[in-house]
Structure 1
Amino acid sequence: MTLSEGTRRTEEGKTAKKIETFDDILPYIGGAGRYQWYLFVLLLPFAFGYAFLYFGHFFLVLTPNEYWCTVPELDDLTIDQRIALSIPPATADELKSEGATSYSRCQMYDVNYTEILASGVNISDPTWPITACRNGWTFDYTTIPYVSIAAELGWVCEKEYYSSVAQSIFFIGSILGGFIFGYIADHYGRVPALVACNAVGFFASIGTAFCNNYWTFCLSRFILGTAFDNCFNLIFILVIEYVGPEHRTFMANMSFGIYFAGSASLLPWFAYYIADWRTLSLLTATPMAIAFIGPWIVPESARWYISTGNIPKAVEMVKKFEKVNKKTVSKEIYEEFEQSCNAAAKLEGSQNYTVLDLFKKFRLAYITVMLVIYWLLILIVYDGHVWNMKSLDPDVFTSFSLGALTELPAAILLTLFLDKWGRRWMGFISMMICGVFSFITLFMPSGAATVTTGIIARFGVNIAGNIGFQYAAEMLPTVVRGQGVSLIHIVGYIAHIIGPYVVYLSDVAASLPLIVLGLLSVIVAVQALFMPETLGQDLPQTLEDGNNFGREQRFWWIPCISSSHEKKKEFRQTVSSITS
């Protein structure tokens, strides 16, 4: 039996489908029925946990731009009097830094302030000797109304990099977690991996609230980082597996758009009104607590059961969907489904493909490298815009929230147009929007104008990021798809490590972060056009399919313009036969 026999074609061009893949059984049990909508809703708490892990660090270490050396002898004076008497003007280097003030934030005059006050002097003498802060710092909490761990422990001035290093350690942990929980998912099931991952995140987030020094904070962030990504992706992929192909664009984009946008936009206001970093850390742990009842509310992946040869369990899961969706499936359909599952499991067991096979054929290696670069640069631009938001406007809570809300219109736009315009051109347009508005922001007056253009740039990279989520899964061949997607995500963690440091380019020149983000956006936009289009194509199954994927496509092919049936058929990649 061959895959080409899986679809029987009549003279009229109609098809009589045969159960060859898991997707073929979905129309019988319901591709978007009650159970799928239950799973859609179930994504909510996991999406909140994901967003809280992703952005929680930003608010745990958030410090006001205005701070100065504390001089205990001057506590009875007003803020203006204290600064005028004890703080020298900012140096040339300090004026280049993010959120620079006219006065020095890291130096004070080295004089006897008791004698100065006794002599009636109320303004400093520029000839006085200068020293580094001796008694910590005083922060102006007008715009940021709480003491973060960075402010509490003094991670400013020569220790300003502490916060970014801790964030990098978080994403180093995510690399380790990707391997650990990926192994658990492949060998013990998606649900055990999901439960273990979120449990680790829950306890590590609680542990963060009890940190009292830099090293304990870094340790807790490292452990917490191991839970990042997989805490949501495991159930996200599981849900998409159970949704019919024609509904996946909607389910994938709208679930992420609604839940991620909602949770990320609410987080700044949780931080603002809670006004305590320890309580905030406890709050961000709460969504992950749902993992403890995961085995009772989350279905195991039927595809995983098939891949491990546990066909009865796969059939059991399918019948559960049939029952909830109120469908009736004939015995013959199940028999055919079991036969195809046994054939697939036998084929799976006879092969031993690894991620290295992606690089054994030239064109497939080219596609893989392009996907890695695409995802890497998009994440650098995305994280760069997230961390740069603080420098665009003092009201970081409003600007961050508005930026996060762009995830929703991005998801709606993708749902409406992704299956019409295709991945290449949507990726090109969205990243060009990001690049152009990154450059426009440089010339806008500070305040609402820069926030608006910055948010539009963020909107562009949001669209491209969501495209990237499914691009690799559609382009890589089935036999190594899981490992290939994992490789791309692991490389993406490197981007998360690099991204926050983009904002420190402002120490060289204030405009440099946006220039770099704009240039990278344009590079990614152009790069997208040099990758194959996956819309309307039969997805590659074998390594040979992957190596030939997109060969017949023309560079200027735009699916929504080349819309005739014949035109699309000309570019459709024929799937190779697989003997079972």
Structure 2
Amino acid sequence: MKFDDLIVEYLGEFGRYQRVQFCLVVLPTLFCALHSLSWTFIAPNVSHRCRLPTDIGEHPIYDIGPSELLTGCDSGNSSNCVYQTCTLKNNQTCQNGYVYSDYSRYTALERWDLICDRHILKPVVQSAYYLGQFLGSLVFGFLGDRYGRKKIFLTAIGIQFFSGIGMSLAPTWYLFALFRVGSGFAHPGIFMTAVILGMELIGPSIRSLASVISGALFSCGQVFLGLAAYFIADYQHLQMTITLPAVLFVTYIWLIPESARWLVSQRRYKEADKILRRAARQNGKHLPETWWEQLEVDSNAGSESRGTEKRNFTDLFRTPRIRCRTFVLFYVWPVVSMAYYGMSMKPDILGNNPYVNFIAGGIFEIPASVFMFLTVDRLGRKPLLIGGLTTAGLTLLSNMFISEAVFAWAPTIQFLLSKASMTLTYSTLYAYTPELFPTEIRNMAVGGCSMMARIGASSASFMVMYLVEIYGRQSITIPFSTTLILAALTVFLVLPETAGAALPETITHLEAPKNVSLRTDDNDKSIPLVEKSPSTD
């Protein structure tokens, strides 16, 4: 018997216990959206000009009339006149500071003058979050497989909470960036662990629900962030608003158990038994005594005094099938992350109002996640992933030919369609990736993919917050679209379909030829969760 069979037969695929635990573990993913994208509204673009000696007061008037414009223009028509943003008419720098066009909001951009020669600091601060995610993906993925899901989950929530408080109180941009590294560091420990915790105790037919609900909550977080940013004018108050509610997660110390599947993989049967019996009791089911003796066993599992071999990051590259899957996903994940976060960080990149686009983009992501859930088992993981990548790539490419000059709402439609496609892709990736790797390195593999995704997200920070403002939107639409289409082609050619397959449990099992049994003669006693016929490449 496989562990999936144990769940279906003795617990039920999605009973009362699983529903309650599932809702609890995925809820913190909402806060990942709030923190990862908050910089979009904490330091938004604001028109500015040099401060003149004649400008009086803390917030002087931005529009000083045609006679005082700092760039030459037709004196008969001042409508086309613009201010030089970083120099005076004689090309001198703004020695007196800057005047901003809108003082109704208190932003980090204004507080620390992240413009002109300090403009590069804006993507630096945002990429600090992704640097934290990069490190967190590597660390939490490894620790989650070695020391358990719950400890890592709670630790990450605590780090995110205190980093959020630190950002709201930081007096300098570099301290803000440091706390942003901490918040990013916690992100994979929360999001990927929530997905894995959610999927490891539910039946295989609805396993994709973990990534779908997590993705939908992430989208809800975007909607809440957009609404909060619209109504809260002070960036420090905004940061505090998206941080403080997480204090409620301290109750998870008592409410959330360790992953029973992980405990079984470590042969900690007594601890797993307590959790599964509680689940069976709440679901109105009966769990047999010494159920672990019914589980299938890897023939190599007993070689080390019945101890579990400790795996590390290099196991992602040691064997051929896992190595092939790792290389493909290490390309696909950063490409998807680059496009998704690039669109999210600059919602007006294709045109129109950033608040409307951001909130509408978050709303449109929810039906995309629902569509993924309803079709991922019928159509399969590969078709959805390939379709989402291709649609997003072609939609972004179309902006070069159909812009607001052709149709006023074209940029909004393109933005929403590309965001929905990227959400479909991301949700599918989170469901698909864990199924491609065995239990003993699953958390590490997802963590590694998340780590690589940070390279794409960090690149997107500099592209949308720096290059676009210098060279225009084509500097991202072309690389985004081409890399997405190439990723779709790579998935089509290399990766296997996993829909309906049981989760592989060991590297030996996944790499074994098809139909090779992995039982031992030791009374069929188990190391957990090995299927007899692994999916092949």
| Offset at residue 520 of structure 1 (A) | 1.4
CA contact (8 A) 2:297 2:518 kept: no
Deviation readout 1:205-242 (Å, 9 max, x if unpaired): 11111112122112211222221121232233112211
* Structure 2 residue 17 is matched with structure 1 residue 35: yes
Deviation readout 1:59-110 (Å, 9 max, x if unpaired): 222232x2212225144996443564152259xxxxxxxxx9943111224x
* Structure 2 residue 181 is matched with structure 1 residue 222: yes
Out of 322, 328, 335, the position equivalent to 2:280 is 322
Deviates most, 494-503 or 345-354: 345-354
CA contact (8 A) 2:7 2:201 kept: no
The one-letter amino acid paired with 1:85 is E
The one-letter amino acid paired with 1:488 is C
Aligned pairs (5 A) from 1:113-124:
none
Specify whether residues 136 and 307 from structure 1 end up closer, same or farther in structure 2 by C-alpha distance, changes over 3 A only: same
| Offset at residue 352 of structure 1 (A) | 4.3
- For residue 494 of structure 1, what is the aligned residue in structure 2? 455
| Distance (Å, rounded) in 2 between the aligned partners of 1:367 and 1:181 | 21
The one-letter amino acid paired with 1:32 is F
Specify whether residues 190 and 388 from structure 1 end up closer, same or farther in structure 2 by C-alpha distance, changes over 3 A only: same
| Offset at residue 188 of structure 1 (A) | 4.1
| Distance (Å, rounded) in 2 between the aligned partners of 1:166 and 1:83 | 36
| Offset at residue 141 of structure 1 (A) | 2.5
Secondary structure of residue in 2 paired with 1:68: strand
Deviates most, 370-379 or 282-291: 282-291
* Structure 2 residue 159 is matched with structure 1 residue 200: yes
* Structure 2 residue 104 is matched with structure 1 residue 104: no
Aligned pairs (5 A) from 1:91-240:
102-109=82-89, 129-141=90-102, 145-182=104-141, 184-240=143-199
- Identity percentage over the alignment? 23
| Distance (Å, rounded) in 2 between the aligned partners of 1:353 and 1:181 | 14
Of Structure 1 and Structure 2, which has the larger fraction of its residues in helix? 1
| Offset at residue 452 of structure 1 (A) | 1.2
Deviates most, 232-241 or 451-460: 232-241
| Offset at residue 163 of structure 1 (A) | 1.5
* Structure 2 residue 356 is matched with structure 1 residue 398: yes
| Offset at residue 407 of structure 1 (A) | 1.9
CA contact (8 A) 1:89 1:103 kept: no
- For residue 479 of structure 2, what is the aligned residue in structure 1? 516
Deviates most, 507-516 or 336-345: 336-345
The one-letter amino acid paired with 2:339 is V
| Distance (Å, rounded) in 2 between the aligned partners of 1:357 and 1:139 | 53
| Distance (Å, rounded) in 1 between the aligned partners of 2:81 and 2:144 | 50
- For the aligned residue pairs, the C-alpha RMSD in angstroms reads 2.8
The one-letter amino acid paired with 1:577 is L
| Offset at residue 363 of structure 1 (A) | 4.3
| Offset at residue 448 of structure 1 (A) | 2.5
| Distance (Å, rounded) in 1 between the aligned partners of 2:322 and 2:135 | 27
Deviates most, 74-83 or 311-320: 74-83
- For residue 114 of structure 1, what is the aligned residue in structure 2? none
* Structure 2 residue 264 is matched with structure 1 residue 283: no
| Distance (Å, rounded) in 2 between the aligned partners of 1:167 and 1:401 | 20
Secondary structure of residue in 1 paired with 2:99: strand
Secondary structure of residue in 1 paired with 2:187: coil
Out of 81, 87, 94, the position equivalent to 2:64 is 81
* Structure 2 residue 467 is matched with structure 1 residue 505: yes
| Distance (Å, rounded) in 2 between the aligned partners of 1:341 and 1:223 | 41
| Distance (Å, rounded) in 1 between the aligned partners of 2:131 and 2:236 | 23
Specify whether residues 335 and 43 from structure 1 end up closer, same or farther in structure 2 by C-alpha distance, changes over 3 A only: closer
| Offset at residue 379 of structure 1 (A) | 0.9
* Structure 2 residue 208 is matched with structure 1 residue 249: yes
| Offset at residue 544 of structure 1 (A) | 5.5
Deviation readout 1:261-290 (Å, 9 max, x if unpaired): 212111011011111110111112124323
Deviation readout 1:427-479 (Å, 9 max, x if unpaired): 22111111111112222215532111121112112111111112221122344
- For residue 295 of structure 2, what is the aligned residue in structure 1? 340
CA contact (8 A) 2:142 2:443 kept: no
Aligned pairs (5 A) from 1:283-302:
283-302=241-260
Out of 498, 520, 525, the position equivalent to 2:488 is 525
| Distance (Å, rounded) in 2 between the aligned partners of 1:337 and 1:248 | 22
The one-letter amino acid paired with 1:106 is C
| Distance (Å, rounded) in 2 between the aligned partners of 1:74 and 1:534 | 65
| Distance (Å, rounded) in 2 between the aligned partners of 1:542 and 1:199 | 32
Deviation readout 1:523-549 (Å, 9 max, x if unpaired): 112112112222244554554554578
Larger relative contact order, structure 1 or 2 (CA cutoff 8 Å, min sep 6): 2
| Offset at residue 416 of structure 1 (A) | 1.7
| Distance (Å, rounded) in 2 between the aligned partners of 1:326 and 1:72 | 78
* Structure 2 residue 13 is matched with structure 1 residue 49: no
| Offset at residue 132 of structure 1 (A) | 1.5
Deviation readout 1:394-435 (Å, 9 max, x if unpaired): 521111111122221111111121112212222221111111
The one-letter amino acid paired with 1:511 is Q
| Distance (Å, rounded) in 2 between the aligned partners of 1:350 and 1:242 | 21
Out of 479, 492, 498, the position equivalent to 1:534 is 498
CA contact (8 A) 2:141 2:446 kept: no
CA contact (8 A) 1:383 1:496 kept: yes
| Distance (Å, rounded) in 1 between the aligned partners of 2:434 and 2:399 | 34
Secondary structure of residue in 2 paired with 1:71: coil
The one-letter amino acid paired with 1:514 is T
CA contact (8 A) 2:7 2:202 kept: no
Secondary structure of residue in 2 paired with 1:81: coil
- For residue 398 of structure 2, what is the aligned residue in structure 1? 440
The one-letter amino acid paired with 2:135 is L
Specify whether residues 45 and 276 from structure 1 end up closer, same or farther in structure 2 by C-alpha distance, changes over 3 A only: farther
Deviation readout 1:485-523 (Å, 9 max, x if unpaired): 222221122222112222233323442211111111211
TM-score by length of 2: 0.86
| Distance (Å, rounded) in 1 between the aligned partners of 2:15 and 2:463 | 45
- For residue 569 of structure 1, what is the aligned residue in structure 2? none
CA contact (8 A) 2:344 2:358 kept: yes
The one-letter amino acid paired with 2:88 is M
